[in-house]
Structure 1
Amino acid sequence: MAKEKIVLAYSGGLDTSVILKWLKETYDAEIIAFTADIGQKDELDGLEEKALATGASKIYIDDLRAEFAKDFINPMFQAAALYEGQYLLGTSIARPLIAKRMVEIARAEGATAIAHGATGKGNDQVRFELTAAALAPELSVIAPWRLEQFREEFPGRAEMIAYAEKHNIPVTASAAKPYSTDRNLLHISFESGMLEDPWFDPAADSNKGMYVLSVAPEDAPDQAEYIELEFAAGDCVAINGTKLSPLEVMETLNEIGGKHGIGRVDMVENRFVGMKSRGVYETPGGTILFTAHRKMESLTMDRDVMHLRDSLISKYASLVYNGFWFAPERLAIQALVSESQKNVSGTVRLKLYKGNVIGAGVKSPVSLYNPDIATMEADPTKAYDQGDATGFIRLNALRLKVGSGVEQNAKK
């Protein structure tokens, strides 16, 4: 009989390298490794050789960067999603894409299960498994860190390193980087290790080497840089007059933003599983794009449509953060968001200076801003009669007057 096939989300780090070998031995299964190229850069070097040497029968290393930018980052930014007022959801939005492709590979290979190296304390386990449930409910999911047998065998990193050495698995694990990172096209995150102390300052001079995508704001150029972003139906399609794909937009903005120290966030957030967690993020390009998009909307989006969409930001961001990208409620909100973006077109000019993204102008052929109506001078169009405001205010004040009268009578 053919062996059972398991598709493993594989990064090549200590955890997934050990898990690959452990799954093969424990389940006597054929392990197919899968790595999504979503912008990790040199972290992908040597992965194929390492996976095969560790025991994988095959490895997929798929370039998903263009799909990530077009079908995941752009729709999320159209929704103005911001988790707990700070986090641009860089890790969260990548997980459903990874899980989606893993499911596709599992079906193509005839696998009966998928596996991941997410711990039982984090959000990623939920994101991977909710996506699998939505797209391929017939597949089993193996999460070794939630299995008592695995935890007993590997109570700590020392045991994992010893296991790797025993099986000649090359891993890099040392105290030189006492924190974990996750990088993709949108951001890089840092957590655990020294960052578990919320009083620890990762931006202190002694720790500047931690950051990857951006210089410290105080080390950024003393000369401000102006850039122009062109939007069409809610998506950035050009920078400084050069037409770009969604992938090229992110790559270009990351380079520009990083040079100016833009996009650093240090926060204590609420995980879906119930605990608070400290995370440090670098999102240079995303921060510029988010700011520019909001400014474009301010000129072109109907007031009540904007307010309706904004009322859903917290819900939408939580859905992404918690792993419900393929849930019907996220898709329903996205349909409303897409409708709201039809006229979000035009050009935004920004000034970048030492960590700051400052608006410097906005224009659009479908602008809803009419200077003749908004002017404090005489209105040549006669579109707005200031006297009409008297009745408007009187009607809106009516319930307040009635309520106040009731309260005053109750005090007598």
Structure 2
Amino acid sequence: MSHAAPKKVLLAYSGGLDTSYLTAWLTHAMGYSVTTLTVDCGGMDDVERQRLAEQSELLGAVEHRTVDAREELFARVLRWLIAGNVRRGETYPLCVGAERGLQAEILAGVAALEGFDVVAHGCTGAGNDQVRFESALAVVAEDVEVLAPIRDQGISREEEREWLNAHGFDIASNDCEYSINAGMWGVTIGGGNLLVEHGSLPAEAWRWTRTASTGSGPEGVRITFDGGIPTAIDGQAMEPVELVETLNLMAGSAGIGRGYHLGDTVLGSKGRIAYEAPAATVLLDAHRELEKLVLTEDQRFLKDHVGDTYGRKLHQGQLHEPMMRDAEAFFASTQARVTGEVDVLFQGMAPLVQAVSSPYSMMAASDAQYGERPSKKSDPSGALWLARTLAEPARLAKRAGSNGPVGSSASAEPALKQDASLASKLLLDEVPA
């Protein structure tokens, strides 16, 4: 009597507790033929890559594969995060969330090309990644069968550990209190005492910035941009992947890029993580300051809005939404003059942009000097006309208020004068020196 061949499963594999459990459970409990696939988006070295392959085999996988997606990740995602100066909540550079759509696409592509019956992932039912994976798979592989046992069965991490231990698999040394995800754009740390809004990481829980207290890091760097893309560190030309990974080491050793992000999950709840994004932090700060030199205010104003929307959609797993291509085309049109050098000082575990230069400098193109002399093309009477024109709506609102109901303007006038006096003081205090 013949037996049907076991179902061929391609599992997205990170080597963490969830995907390690799935490799063993799908193989030994379900009888599937499991191939594990790690889509390498950075954040690991050759030793870690080898460890993943060996661990996968020990857990029962028939084969382990690795796809190096770092160059594709930069070309299709990270370059646009830089161009859009994208930060969630004006803080978080998106880190590993930026990778998920691409990882799902590559997973589906390998499965289709090599005839796998099923693709599987280890996302839980309480996070963003399940939505990111499923959204991407719904677009690029709508007919493929997707298994998500961790999410669908509601298995806890403690239950996973117990099952693995009961079946002779000891991976405790590779797991800890926190859920850690690392990629080229940064590392995120979740769980543990970050599950409450007032918790913080102990010093030993940080990953890429642990040596910051030793003072071993560099004092700063000079970043060269060409058309909005970083091309060199301290004058040494590098391809984007090498540059980002080098800058992660340099800035990370100086403690740059640590942060906490409390934000809105795709599921509507609040979530909180710690992150370390040394290269992203330096590049985004440097790029934004260079843009101030070469772009107009209105260009940057519109870019901020498009960048915020782009980041929100990517956070939601909508890498394949057509609007994203429209946003990227807009970003590309704004980056033609974002060329130059930016000096960044590493000061107190934070980057300080202290100098910028560009052949497209709008500051150098002007014969005016701020606070010293106007442009030769300017007309003092024109400035007065502009000031009065800009003030006209406020002047009319004030006049209209004086014609309001009896008693209303009298009671409001002192408060208006007080507010106007305070606003004037604040404006004077905020005039840049």
Fold conserved between structures, TM > 0.5:
yes
TM-score, length of structure 1 as denominator length: 0.90
Q: C-alpha distance in 2, partners of 1:311/1:38?
A: 27
The answer on whether the counterparts of 2:257 and 2:281 sit within 8 Å (CA) in structure 1 is yes
The answer on whether the counterparts of 2:18 and 2:150 sit within 8 Å (CA) in structure 1 is no
Q: Secondary structure at the match of 1:61?
A: strand
Task: Give, in angstroms, the shift of residue 281 of structure 1.
Answer: 0.6
Q: C-alpha distance in 2, partners of 1:233/1:218?
A: 36
Q: Does 1:163 align with 2:163?
A: yes
Deviation track 1:237-266 (CA, whole Å, cap 9, x = no partner) reads 111111111111111211221121111102
Task: Give, in angstroms, the shift of residue 287 of structure 1.
Answer: 0.7
Q: C-alpha distance in 1, partners of 2:162/2:254?
A: 43
Q: C-alpha distance in 2, partners of 1:408/1:114?
A: 70
Deviation track 1:337-357 (CA, whole Å, cap 9, x = no partner) reads 111111111111111122121
Deviation track 1:319-370 (CA, whole Å, cap 9, x = no partner) reads 1211111111222212111111111111111111221211221111111223
The answer on whether the counterparts of 2:123 and 2:151 sit within 8 Å (CA) in structure 1 is no
Deviation track 1:182-225 (CA, whole Å, cap 9, x = no partner) reads 111221111112332333332xxxx321112114755435x972
Amino acid at match of 2:250: I
Q: Secondary structure at the match of 1:87?
A: coil
Q: Does 1:342 align with 2:336?
A: yes
Q: C-alpha distance in 2, partners of 1:362/1:10?
A: 42
The answer on whether the counterparts of 2:266 and 2:316 sit within 8 Å (CA) in structure 1 is yes
Deviation track 1:50-83 (CA, whole Å, cap 9, x = no partner) reads 3233332322112222222333212111111110
**Counterpart position of 1:240:** 234
**Counterpart position of 1:193:** 192
Q: C-alpha distance in 2, partners of 1:177/1:29?
A: 28
The answer on whether the counterparts of 1:33 and 1:60 sit within 8 Å (CA) in structure 2 is yes
Residues 77-88 of structure 1 mapped to structure 2, 5 A cutoff: 77-88=82-93
Q: C-alpha distance in 2, partners of 1:157/1:359?
A: 43
Query: How many pairs does the alignment contain?
Result: 400
Amino acid at match of 2:148: A
Amino acid at match of 1:330: M
Residues 1-400 of structure 1 mapped to structure 2, 5 A cutoff: 2-24=5-27, 28-39=31-42, 40-41=44-45, 42-147=47-152, 150-151=153-154, 154=155, 156-172=156-172, 177-202=176-201, 207-215=202-210, 219-220=214-215, 225-369=219-363, 370-379=365-374, 382-400=376-394
Identity of aligned residues (%): 28
Amino acid at match of 1:213: W
Q: C-alpha distance in 2, partners of 1:122/1:250?
A: 27
In 2 relative to 1, CA 311–158 (structure 1 residues): closer, same or farther, beyond 3 Å?
Answer: closer
Query: What is the aligned-residue RMSD (CA, Å)?
Result: 2.3
The answer on whether the counterparts of 1:23 and 1:31 sit within 8 Å (CA) in structure 2 is yes
Amino acid at match of 2:94: L
Q: C-alpha distance in 1, partners of 2:87/2:318?
A: 15
* Range that drifts further, 266-275 or 163-172: 163-172
Amino acid at match of 1:86: T
The answer on whether the counterparts of 2:177 and 2:192 sit within 8 Å (CA) in structure 1 is yes
Q: C-alpha distance in 2, partners of 1:411/1:11?
A: 69
- Bigger Rg, structure 1 or 2: 2
Q: C-alpha distance in 1, partners of 2:147/2:309?
A: 29
Q: C-alpha distance in 2, partners of 1:54/1:255?
A: 32
The answer on whether the counterparts of 2:53 and 2:64 sit within 8 Å (CA) in structure 1 is yes
Task: Give, in angstroms, the shift of residue 2 of structure 1.
Answer: 4.7
Q: Secondary structure at the match of 2:380?
A: coil
In 2 relative to 1, CA 225–146 (structure 1 residues): closer, same or farther, beyond 3 Å?
Answer: closer
* Range that drifts further, 21-30 or 126-135: 21-30
Deviation track 1:112-164 (CA, whole Å, cap 9, x = no partner) reads 432110100000001111111122212222211232xx33xx4x444323322
Q: Secondary structure at the match of 2:171?
A: coil
The answer on whether the counterparts of 1:220 and 1:261 sit within 8 Å (CA) in structure 2 is no
Amino acid at match of 1:21: A
* Range that drifts further, 11-20 or 164-173: 164-173
TM-score, length of structure 2 as denominator length: 0.86
Amino acid at match of 1:177: C
Q: C-alpha distance in 2, partners of 1:312/1:128?
A: 24
Amino acid at match of 1:133: A
